[in-house]
Amino acid sequence: MRTYDIERYLNIRSAYGASFSADGERLSFLMDTTGVPQVWTVDSPGAWPEQRTFYEERVTFASWSPERPELAFGMDKGGNERAQLFRLEPDTGVIENLTEHPDAKHRWGGWSRDGERFAFTSNRRDNAVFDVYVQARNGSGTDAELVHEGDGWLTVGGWSPDDSKLIVQEAYSNFDQDVSVLDLATGELTHITPHQGTVRFQSPEWGPDGENVYMVTDRGSDTLELVRYELASGEFTTVDTGGDHELEGISIDHDSRRLVYSRNVEGYTELTFGELTAPDRIDLLPQPDLPNGVAGGVSFSPDGERAAVTVTASADTANVYVVELATGDAERWTLAATAGIPRDTFVSPELVRYPTFDGRDIPAFFTLPEESPEGETPVIVDIHGGPESQRRPSFSSVKQYFLSRGYAYFEPNVRGSAGYGKAYGHLDDVEKRMDSVADIEAAVEWLHDHPAVDPDKIVAMGGSYGGFMVLAAMTEYPDLWAAGVDIVGIANFVTFLENTGDWRRELREAEYGSLEDDREFLESISPINNVEKIRAPLFVLHGENDPRVPVSEAHQLVEEAREHAHVRELIFDDEGHGFSKLENRIEAYSQIADFLDEYVRSAPAADD
């Protein structure tokens, strides 16, 4: 089989995040053809798209005005996540900075129905908390009106159909949120989801009449269900339970009363389109004819007859499809290039389950390369971050590159992962943190029994919280690993919590434990305090501007670990939490490939 270098794989493009223009004739979307995501538009399926922004920094979203030929988009600098909001007129190329507060984060909250205003949340008043702002479409900088002072992590869930109210969501952790309604005339904030313990209230959406709020929640079940909250009575009604699987989100078009919600089935997305013919009645529309994979980012056309959807699969790049809702027919509008690599060379995974220490079965995706000599195949165990995230069957050019080089890929969804219900998600909280690391040991034991796998050539790799999992697995189970790759990972929970962005600390303490109450425990499980146990070669990569996991985590780890094992370090001065620039990604993964070639592929087998 012909092979291609990492630069070719990293030039595989993704198109996603579509939005319909006010006249319904154009789609905007993000695509990384230049090396970082920029705004593009296209006016028909497969037509030549036009690039609309030309920055060296990544664009994070783009949203058409509902009334005018203009777009709002977000962009940070050097990966610092302090996104600013901009207004773009595609037909003239004019771009205006709407926020002009470069030291603050701005989180888009949507256009008003008339397109005259937009809402957002920002920590410009206090770095540790988010407030709600409303601003005129042609305003800038200090023109924004502070309409609600917050005391936590706030986002805006959208404008009511008459533009008089906003949905405001507050997150305490990934498994605990609240939803409120803000009256813009009076400033009154009405809390609509009082609860005890941890309960998820996610993806809140106004109903077409403005009298109801729809959302997904696990308030009465282990998994997320679709519910309706009636503002007048203050009562919840279950609309769809989702069966044994989580319902992930809902989007509603007010004028047409069309809606869509998604169901997470072992990581794969099932979309349901329908029409709200009564507050709790959904008349279903045909199932969309979309590839089997992960779908989201739905945008309805102005007439509600079509919906743009981003779809990706393990063996297919992310692209935007447009669904004709009356028939379910779908057509791909974007053609994200594969850098000349034949699509039929991309490999799909097998969904497996393996037993762990307490008798539980852990779900995972296992992908073997086309050629897997018995007992000779090296494996990369790629551990997701979060921790309340989920490894799903979406396209990864890095994974496909390593598969082409003969590595198998194992992607576990250990306890604490999202997508499998509330109870599963809480199995790794605070004092149970290391149980999830034990699930990684069980994964390696399962791999040892696989006939294709070389048990002496198993690699741990992960980013962010997944980087912690790599380091923890290498200190708890040092004899299992041929090498480790830690990307923007947590080495010391105490210094991580002390130095992370002020706006994130409380949110993260809810998952990991608090500095005040759990400091001793956090010290005990921090890999930096067990670094002498590391035996395998370790590669540590980080971004200088990381606002989530400060680069100091990498520096202190490397300094300590070098006394006990071979360690490499690579720091990018113009990146944050991960690597967004193409040239940096090429450098990072080229060095990772060389590192694994030296210490895994060419390493002699261990003595029996």
At 606 the pLDDT is 43
Residue 479, burial from CB neighbour count under 10 angstroms (0-12, 13-18, 19+): exposed
All residue ranges of the chain with pLDDT < 50 are: 605-608
Boundaries of domain holding 437: 347-601
At 1 the pLDDT is 56
3-state secondary structure of 418: coil
Does the residue 565 lie in any domain? yes
At 238 the pLDDT is 97
In the 8-state DSSP scheme, what is residue 98? Answer: S
Instruction: State how far the Cα of 563 lies from the Cα of 584, in Å rounded to an integer.
Output: 28
Does the residue 429 lie in any domain? yes
CA distances from 138 to 133, 324, 371, 372 (A): 15, 34, 58, 59
pLDDT in tens, 274-333: 999 999 999 999 999 999 999 999 999 999 999 999 999 999 999 999 999 999 999 999
Does the residue 528 lie in any domain? yes
At 501 the pLDDT is 66
Does the residue 439 lie in any domain? yes
Q: What radius of gyration, in Å, describes the C-alpha atoms of the chain?
A: 24
pLDDT in tens, 60-79: 999 999 999 999 999 999 88
Q: Which of 397, 345, 353 is nearest to 371 (CA)?
A: 345
At 549 the pLDDT is 83
**Residue ranges of E strands in 255-315:** 258-265, 268-278, 281-284, 294-300, 306-313
Instruction: State how far the Cα of 373 lies from the Cα of 33, in Å rounded to an integer.
Output: 36
Buried-exposed string 568-600: b where 16+ CB fall within 10 A, e elsewhere:
bbbebebbbbbbbbbebbbbbbebbbebbeebb
Q: How far is CA 546 from the centre of its chain?
A: 16
CATH, residue 540: 3.40.50.1820
Does the residue 576 lie in any domain? yes
Predicted structure pTM score: 0.92
Does the residue 556 lie in any domain? yes
Tell me phi and psi for residue 311, to 5 degrees: -130, 135
**Tokens representing residue 454 in the block:** 């070389």
Does the residue 543 lie in any domain? yes
> For residue 215, how many other CB atoms are within 10 A of its CB?
28
Task: Give the side-chain half-sphere CA count within 13 A for 177.
Answer: 24
Structural domains in the chain (count): 1
Does the residue 110 lie in any domain? no
